[in-house]
Chain A
Amino acid sequence: MRRGALTVVGTGIRIGLQLTPESRAAIDAADELLYVNAEPLGDRWLASLHPRARSLASHYRPGTARDEVYESIVEAILEPVRLGGRVCAAFYGHPGVFVRPSHEAVSRARREGHAARMLPAVSAEDCLFADLGVDPAVHGCASYDATAFLARRRPLDTSAALVLWQVAAIGEPRVVSRGAHGGGVDVLAARLLEAYPDGHEVVLYEASPYPAAEPDVRRVPLGALGAVTPSPQATLYVPPTLAGAAA
Chain B
Amino acid sequence: MTLSEFLLKLAADPQLLERFREEPRKVADEVGLDEEQRRLLAAGSLEQLRIEIHGELRVGEETAMIVWLHRFPSIPWLFAAPDDAES
The distance in angstroms between the C-alpha atoms of A4 and B25, with both chains bound, is 50
Which B residues are CB-close (under 8 A) to A175?
A: 69-70, 72
The distance in angstroms between the C-alpha atoms of A67 and B45, with both chains bound, is 34
A41-B4 contact given A16-B12, A176-B69, CB 8 Å threshold: yes
Q: Does A129 contact B (CB under 8 A)?
A: no
Interface bits A147-175 vs B (CB < 8 Å: 1, else 0): 11001100000000000001001011101
- By the criterion CB–CB under 8 Å, are A151 and B62 in contact? no
- By the criterion CB–CB under 8 Å, are B47 and A213 in contact? no
What band does the interface of chain B fall in when counting residues whose beta carbon is under 8 Å from A? 35 or more
Interface residues of B in 8-35 (CB under 8 A from A): 8, 10-12, 14, 17, 20-21
Of A38, A210, A215, the residue contacting B67 (CB under 8 A) is A38
- By the criterion CB–CB under 8 Å, are B78 and A60 in contact? no
- By the criterion CB–CB under 8 Å, are B65 and A62 in contact? yes
Interface residue tally for chain A (C-beta within 8 Å): 52
A98-B46 contact given A16-B10, A178-B65, CB 8 Å threshold: no
Of B41, B70, B79, the residue contacting A173 (CB under 8 A) is B79
- By the criterion CB–CB under 8 Å, are B70 and A40 in contact? no
- By the criterion CB–CB under 8 Å, are B17 and A212 in contact? yes
- By the criterion CB–CB under 8 Å, are B70 and A151 in contact? no
Interface residues of B in 42-82 (CB under 8 A from A): 44-47, 49-50, 53-54, 57, 59, 62-79
CB distance from A56 to the nearest CB of B (A): 9
Q: Does A211 contact B (CB under 8 A)?
A: yes
Which B residues are CB-close (under 8 A) to A69?
A: 70
Which A residues are CB-close (under 8 A) to B62?
A: 62, 176
Which A residues are CB-close (under 8 A) to B21?
A: 212
- By the criterion CB–CB under 8 Å, are A151 and B65 in contact? no
Which B residues are CB-close (under 8 A) to A151?
A: 75, 77-78, 85
- Some 26 contacts from A to B, beta carbons below 8 A apart, are A16-B8, A38-B70, A40-B59, A40-B64, A40-B67, A41-B7, A41-B8, A41-B53, A57-B67, A66-B72, A66-B75, A66-B76, A67-B74, A100-B74, A166-B73, A171-B78, A175-B69, A175-B70, A175-B72, A177-B69, A210-B53, A211-B11, A212-B21, A231-B46, A231-B47, A233-B71
Give A contacts to B, CB under 8 Å: 14-17, 36-41, 44-45, 48, 57, 60, 62, 65-67, 69-70, 92-93, 98-100, 145, 147-148, 151-152, 166, 169, 171-173, 175-178, 206, 208, 210-216, 231-233
Give B contacts to A, CB under 8 Å: 4, 7-8, 10-12, 14, 17, 20-21, 41, 44-47, 49-50, 53-54, 57, 59, 62-79, 85
